[in-house]
Amino acid sequence: MLKTLIGCCALLLAVAAQADPSSGSHALTLYGEPPKYPANFDHFEYVNPQAPKGGVLRLSGFGSFDSLNGFISKGAAADRLDLLYDTLTFHSLDEPFTEYGLLAERIERADDNTWVRFHLRPQARFHDGEQVTAADVVFTFNTLIEHGAPFYRAYYADVKEVVADSDTSVTFHFHHGHNRELPLVLGQLPVLPEHYWADRDFNSSGLEHPLGNGPYRISDVRPGRSITYERVPDYWAVDLPVRRGFFNFDRVVVDYYRDTGVALEAFKAGQFDFNQEVSARNWATGYDSPALQEGRIVKEEIPNLNTQGMQGFVFNLRNPHFQDRRVRQAISLLFDFEWANGRLFHDAYTRSASFFANSELAAEGSPGKEELQLLEPLRDQLPEAVFGPAYIPPETDGTGNIREQMRQAYALLQEAGWHIEDDQLINEKGEPLSFEFLLVQADFERVLLPFKRNLASLGINMDLRRIDVSQYINRLRSRDFDMVVSGFGQSNSPGNEQREYWHSSSADNPGSRNIMGLMDPAVDTLVDGLIQAETRESLITHTRALDRVLRAGHYLVPNFYTDVYRVAYWDKFEHPEISPRYDLGLFTWWVDQSKPDAPVVPLPVAESEQQINTAEQGQPEETAGTKAVEEADGRPSANLVLSQPETSTLQPWQFWTLLTAVALGLSMLMRPRRR
């Protein structure tokens, strides 16, 4: 009897300890380093805690939408749905990768990193007043794994189970303790209401307004044309330090346009009032107008200190002709970036070389001692070029004369068994080297036509095939393409997403970002080591080694990037004096009520009808704030994480990344984002 009583007491004490919100920390960091902000901090330094509330932020979207469920593959979700949902934690915009409690008041992590526990705030509420509980967290995680986009199952593969310890305490148990970032990315999980979804089909892509718990809710939807969000007046987290100074607009309106030219004219006509420009030509000349000259439109370049990632023309390695590295390198040599940058882009871009550009993660020169310790055991599986200087695309003189690059390219092709016969490049079987470049944006053809001519000079035929978005989505999902342009967003703390990009386990998954079909045991080893890195120094070494191997593989034709945010807006906004180091921070801005709103000028009927007709087609289009770009600027993301709305501003590289993500059914609502 006494033993039973003692055992029961011990059990009760254990449960009480699990539910004790005083346990744990207010923040999580990747390697246990102290966070920038202490437990009692009042607000982030890059916000104005006295920012007035009010006014309207009007944005543009590209294409159309037919769904308000951004967690599934079906349909095309509306932009900015992330405004509806809060996450367990919130990442600071001026630290590389630190998470502060949002829905979670305190966070515990096992010393051996085999579990993480979140203690929820008792005051956390959904918009209907119901409390956010641990059961909702369990429901969300299991539902996304079972019914969400395929990405979730791969991304959270290291989670063994999730358990509700009490109404306000939930624990995620892991298969092993090697994945250092897993507790942090789990903190970025948006929490859905179990009671709301109990009698609804989660796989539905309809237009019923979903129930959330975030700073905004949907107030109006014009299917395929526009969506309006209104600020929740009794938002439960408005006074939390992690929310103070954010979400100052009473309404956020997103109107959709099919054509970027029409969208630009709509902006200048005052039909929306903030635009992040991703076209160098538009930025140079497209905003010229009386409103700009009079100062009513403001153009501003804000430094972008994020890791810039890689954008490029991606080879589909499933094409037998592209399985030879020499062929891929030869084709890459024929893209004359310097000519394009000068003639088409107003010298606005930097050539991409690294998959982790603009950061300490990029490989430089020959591998050092630490990198060699990772690469030497893989030497038999790697090209010798990996052990020399990291590959950098050669520069041309910008005149269009690339004779030296053509000579190098033809030498590589001959070495691979190709030769020119009757102005056509053929192999030993007499097969021509001919492939199709799949694209959706007409304006991008001007970038590709000079590349096509250079290829033709060596007898290589590249057909440009422009199709509508729905066809493009289907062909990417089925991997039915030879070459496409895509972006691979990166962060300052790479992690699980590298498995999705490059690992053999993702090559045959139609929901993965491994669209090139890369299956390389050496790359797999480096990716696994990167994810399991125990220190920042080890992470950097693994990332540099991976970068070196990817660059030597010539899996894409590197494009270009810009290291600034190019934003234009009507002069009705103010923003904090201090900008966040790793984000534009749009949702820290506010409307100056003393300034007049943008005067709305009606567009010509033809332009308005073009926008409406696009919406009425009902075709799946891009989601999460995408806009078409002329020259597919390269930077991400993450990673592409729009799980937290203050970071959902469009990055220059995101059009192609987001379009690819939509095609592959990757939710833009909870892609974990690191800085």
pLDDT at 236: 99
pLDDT at 526: 98
Contact 633, 349 (CB under 8 A): yes
The DSSP letter of residue 233 is T
Rg of the Cα atoms in the chain: 25
Question: Terminal CA-to-CA distance of the chain, rounded, Å?
Answer: 56
d(CA 110, CA 104): 17
pLDDT at 6: 44
Q: Which residues of the chain, if any, have pLDDT below 50?
A: 1-19, 605-656, 658, 662, 665-675
Beta bridge partners of 624: none
Half-sphere exposure of 415 (CA within 13 A, CB side): 13
Helix, strand, coil % in the chain, rounded to nearest 5? 30, 20, 50
Chain center to CA of 230 = 25
Cα three-residue angle 190-193-194, rounded to 5 degrees: 120
Helix axes 403-415, 325-333, angle to 10 degrees: 170
Q: Which residues 6+ apart lie within 8 Å of 11 measured at CB?
A: none
d(CA 204, CA 250): 29
User: In 530-559, which positions are buried (b, 16+ CB within 10 angstroms) versus exposed (e)?
Assistant: bbbbeebebbbbbbbbbbbbbbbbbbbbbb
Q: Could you report the per-residue pLDDT of 489-515, keeping only the tens digit for each? A: 998 889 888 999 999 999 988 778 999
Q: Which amino acid is at 335?
A: F
d(CA 232, CA 219): 10
The DSSP letter of residue 381 is G
User: In 102-132, which positions are buried (b, 16+ CB within 10 angstroms) versus exposed (e)?
Assistant: bbbbbbbbeeebbbbbbbbbeebbbbeeebb
The DSSP letter of residue 320 is G
Helix (H) or strand (E) holding 140: helix 134-147
Half-sphere exposure of 219 (CA within 13 A, CB side): 13
State whether residue 498 is helix, strand or coil: helix
Q: Where are the alpha helices (DSSP H) in 320-444?
A: 325-333, 337-343, 369-375, 403-415
Contact 247, 215 (CB under 8 A): yes
d(CA 207, CA 210): 8
Phi, psi of 524 (to 5 degrees): -55, -45
pLDDT at 606: 45
pLDDT at 620: 28
pLDDT at 600: 72
Domains and CATH numbers, the chain: 310-561 (3.10.105.10)
pLDDT at 648: 35
Give the alpha-carbon dihedral of 219, 222, 228, 234, to 10 degrees: 10
Q: Which amino acid is at 425?
A: L
Two tokens at 160? 């063994």
- Structure-token match 């790793």, residue found: 582
Q: Is the pTM of this model over 0.75?
A: yes
